[in-house]
């Protein structure tokens, strides 16, 4: 099945392609495409109730200041690390690696993320480890970017997620124009096994680390706000996930109760007839994880993602980090999208960047990053 092309073979080896797991996933996805199985949930799914979501207090409020003090103490004790999800390509920016695209002149997404972490570390008078989850298509470029900018107070570790191969709708390996398997990353759900297999999680815990904040590289609003860390510390749950109120055009995972358990449910998994518009919140893909709680295996599902490659319909299998909420007690924290306390400024394409640049610049100026 695997090509003799040394470049592809080396890539499969370096990024831990698992042929046994791939075959199981290939069969399962082929059965789904044939209508034998469905990714839709079969249990009882209900909208969240009153009290299921916690609203983050404003930074200027007494409650917000109290949480910030708790969060700052955790930072000073060296208990907090940061994971930046940086495996995506800048397909909507014309190609390349999204993490190194300039948001402001001389400031890429990655540089702004690392500058913010460095600033937080200086304020905590300590060190905040940063872990960058990369993919086969972004890792080398991101490593070069990190080498070009030295952060003596910021230990940066590259975590390379696994690779797999795209499939045709018939369930066969999709080959490109040169007859080589078309490779793809395995989704941000691969963060959990990658943290363990790389030894990063064990090292973090041994050094006194307790909490990992995880966010997308293109969401510059997801800063190390001590209020959020304090809210997680006080929440009493293994996991905190940030939610925001929906705006027109938003889609993605929503908070819902599945057989009574509150978790993130992707819209494509909702039962037929469930109206997701009745749930006014959705997942920002920013999490705070207890390091001890995630130091185990999780049986996350593989979901089919349809992509058009060279004009051909293909399927790639991905695992989603949000599904961890089905396994761990989770606090759903409602945060502001905009303004001084805004924490959700995703940039998916040039239009988003043009629309949000002023807001991003104001936020970064406000916290002293630029």
CB 76 within 8 A of CB 208: no
What is the spatial distance between Cα 286 and Cα 231, in angstroms, rounded to a whole number?
A: 14
Q: What residue ranges define each of the domains in the chain, with the CATH number in brackets? A: 6-366 (3.90.550.10)
For tokens 């993602």, name the residue. Answer: 305
Per-residue confidence band for 6, with pLDDT thresholds at 50, 70 and 90 = low
CB 121 within 8 A of CB 153: yes
What confidence tens digit (pLDDT) does each residue in 76-90 have? Answer: 999 999 999 999 887
What confidence tens digit (pLDDT) does each residue in 133-156 have? Answer: 999 999 999 999 998 776 656 789
Rounded to two decimals, the pTM is 0.94
Q: Is the pLDDT of residue 93 over 70?
A: yes
Burial class (CB in 10 A: 0-12, 13-18, 19+), 1: exposed
pLDDT score for 151: 63
């Amino acid at each position: 099945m695997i090509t003799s092309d040394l470049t592809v073979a080396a890539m499969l080896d370096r990024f831990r392609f698992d042929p046994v797991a791939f075959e199981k996933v290939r069969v399962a996805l082929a059965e789904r495409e044939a209508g034998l199985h469905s990714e839709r949930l079969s249990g009882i799914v209900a909208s969240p109730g009153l009290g299921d979501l916690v609203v983050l207090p404003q930074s200027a409020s007494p409650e917000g200041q109290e949480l910030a003090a708790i969060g700052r103490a955790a930072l000073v004790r060296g208990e907090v690390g940061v994971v930046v999800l940086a495996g995506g390509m800048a397909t909507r920016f014309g190609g390349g690696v999204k993490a190194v695209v300039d948001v402001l002149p001389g400031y890429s997404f990655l540089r702004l993320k690392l500058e913010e972490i460095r600033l937080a570390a200086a304020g905590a008078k300590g060190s905040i480890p940063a872990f960058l989850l990369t993919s086969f298509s972004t890792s080398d470029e991101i490593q070069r970017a990190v080498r070009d900018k030295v952060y003596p107070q910021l230990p940066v570790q590259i975590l390379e997620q696994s690779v797999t191969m795209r499939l045709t709708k018939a369930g066969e390996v999709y080959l490109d124009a040169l007859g080589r398997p078309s490779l793809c990353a395995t989704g941000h759900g691969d963060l959990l096994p990658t943290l363990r297999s790389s030894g990063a999680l064990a090292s973090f815990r041994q050094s006194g680390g307790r909490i990992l904040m995880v966010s997308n590289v293109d969401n510059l609003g997801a800063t190390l706000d001590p209020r959020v860390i304090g809210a997680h510390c006080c929440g009493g749950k293994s996991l905190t996930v940030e939610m925001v109120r929906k705006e027109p055009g938003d889609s993605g995972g929503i908070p819902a109760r599945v057989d009574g358990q509150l978790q993130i449910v992707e819209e494509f998994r909702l039962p037929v007839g469930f109206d997701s518009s009745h749930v006014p919140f959705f997942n920002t893909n920013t999490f705070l994880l207890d390091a001890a709680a995630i130091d185990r295996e999780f049986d996350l599902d593989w979901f089919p993602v349809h992509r058009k490659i060279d004009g051909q319909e293909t399927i790639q299998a991905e695992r989603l980090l949000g599904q961890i909420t089905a396994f761990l007690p989770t606090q759903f924290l409602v945060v502001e999208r905009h303004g001084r306390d805004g924490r959700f400024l995703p940039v998916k394409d040039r239009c988003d960047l043009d629309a949000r640049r002023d807001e991003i610049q104001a936020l970064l100026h406000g916290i002293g990053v630029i």
